[in-house]
Amino acid sequence: MPVTDYLERNSKLYGEEVALIEVNPSEKETRRTTWRDFDLVQPTEPQPYRREITWGVFDEKANRVANMLISRGIKKGDKVAILMFNCIEWLPIYFGILKTGALAVPFNFRFDANEILYCAELADVDVIIFGNQFIGRIESVYDKLAKGRLLIYFGENCPSFAENYFDLMSYCSCKAPLIRLEDEDDAAIYFSSGTTGFPKAILHNHESLMQAAQMEQKHHETGRDDTFLCIPPLYHTGAKFHWMGSLVAGSKAVLLKGTEPDVILRTISNERCTIVWLLVPWAQEILDALDRGELKIDDYHLSQWRLMHIGAQPVPPSLIKHWRDYFPNHKYDTNYGLSESTGPGCVHLGMDNIHKVGSIGVPGYRWACKIVDEDGNEVKQGDVGELCVKGPGVMTCYYNDPKATAEVLKDGWLYTGDMAMQDEDGFYYLVDRKKDVIISGGENIYPVQIENFLMTHPKIKDVAVIGLADKRLGEITGAIISIKDGMECTEQEINDFCMDLPRYKRPKKIIFADVPRNATGKIEKPALRKKYGVEKLVAQESGI
């Protein structure tokens, strides 16, 4: 069963009910009819721009996209890329692509021109649907990009080198095309985050997408009365497949274009959101603003907010403990996953296991896990090894890359590259990325453990621990630390604080600087190593 069946079901059963809401705080309007009239919002104040569509309109838009693509020669097995910022049309375009039997290929909107070209060629893309923010990037590689590809422009003032999306759509039927989809049919290509170089193309079939949707609904008990707040970019598996819990439930979701603490809380308040997925930096910024008194919980309607969950990166237990100080009644979940496992959820903490904060949890719905050593043998409980996962959401392969596929897919198991251990209760703990482990004087040091410790310091906003080259020990630990706004901190303060760590884990070098994170909240450690660490020193010694 493809996930498009859920959309068609929702259109029939809940066609007049709201499916998607877009809120854009960077644009303002004064039309009161488009914004909920709660007492805490002054009707005379300009409000964030807001649009909404029903399930019926959602499905009709998807059908028209499908018929438009078919009219331009797109058939089952072709690939259609989406290069757009989050907006209310993004998901109807995605589902329209699926309805043709073609593969949806979401592009990271941070790709530069060369990355766009690289990914289009890697994934054998036939069509690129792109927004106005990407005209310059597309145009700069047009000569190579346009060879054998259809470029469709979504926006006003269509450039001469592309076809106009709205013109193409104006003559298309809103009836569903009669194309049969099977579980084993290819459905989508996603790209790895690219923090270690150019990204890999990750191929998933329709069974993977359905697994992600049903799993999300079950894990968070998403019901018809829930409202999900979606902030991260839809090109990423995490945001989209968390939203698919709403698709399965037939409930509405809000696409928020903004990450400021007040914007998030005000949107939760005005749209009465019940489920919110945050990245660590956003959650931390909300806490910091509350600590400084810049925001007050009583200024918002938040009593309906039942679940806050986090994924995409390790979560410091200190953050969740502090979160509970302000939101004691919240359910909480941590979701672990990879794009190779259809996003987060193959391991999850579970809403009733907050006593295990710090763990990534237990195997998710229809998933299995194991931890293995370098030879692929399972380690005993409590030992550290590489986490492997197995289930119906595992990718088919790295597209056009059998060598890379063979390195991570073995007997149906996906080798994640993450180092983990399992406690006596069966809960898994993420220790670190296999490639991020620091080996100092023969001792394995796991940066996440040090990062979690440092995040308990009251002045630290964010931290990344990396290996720095050392002639005697091979590597030493270095901590890049971002201090909270309005605070000052010295290296001596950090060193004194770290006296509670075992000697070999104490950072040997402290660097006060910003901690870069990508669009999904992951620390860009390769960039930090290039700037401060081993890679920079090797380059210097090589005369590069």
Among the three residues 433, 448, 480, which one is the final residue of a domain in this structure? 433
Q: Which of 67-81, 452-466, 491-505 has the highest mean pLDDT?
A: 67-81
**Assigned domain for 401 exists:** yes
Minimal CA–CA distance to 396: which of 252, 231, 248, 183? 183
Worst-scoring range by mean pLDDT, 72-76, 151-155, 215-219, 477-481?
A: 477-481
**Assigned domain for 298 exists:** no
Residues 215 and 100 in one domain: yes
Residues 232 and 116 in one domain: yes
Residue 398 predicted with pLDDT over 50? yes
Minimal CA–CA distance to 111: which of 129, 85, 137, 93? 137
Residues 252 and 358 in one domain: no
**Assigned domain for 163 exists:** yes
Domains identified in the chain, total number: 3
**Assigned domain for 189 exists:** yes
Between CA 346 and CA 494 the distance in angstroms is: 36
Residues 29 and 147 in one domain: yes
Residue 390 pairs in a beta bridge with 368
Residue 35 predicted with pLDDT over 60? no
pLDDT of residue 47: 64
CATH, residue 376: 2.30.38.10
Residues 104 and 159 in one domain: yes
Among the three residues 390, 414, 433, which one is the final residue of a domain in this structure? 433
The set of residues, in sequence order, having a beta carbon less than 8 Å from that of 448 and lying 6+ positions away, is 314, 430, 431, 432, 465
Q: Are 219 and 352 in contact (CB under 8 A)?
A: no
Give the Cβ contact number of residue 397 at 10 Å. Answer: 19
Residue 492 lies in domain? 437-541
Between CA 110 and CA 86 the distance in angstroms is: 13
List the end-to-end C-alpha distance of the chain, in Å, as a whole number: 54
Residues 202 and 107 in one domain: yes
**Assigned domain for 297 exists:** no
Per residue in 447-465, pLDDT (tens digit) is: 877 888 898 898 998 998 8
Per residue in 267-314, pLDDT (tens digit) is: 999 999 999 999 887 898 899 999 999 999 999 999 999 999 987 666
| 178 vs 434 pLDDT, higher one | 178
Worst-scoring range by mean pLDDT, 44-53, 212-221, 290-299, 365-374?
A: 44-53
Residues 259 and 402 in one domain: no
pTM of the model: 0.81
List strands edge to edge, sheet with 460-470: 460-470, 474-483, 509-512
Q: Across the chain, what does the average pLDDT equal?
A: 87
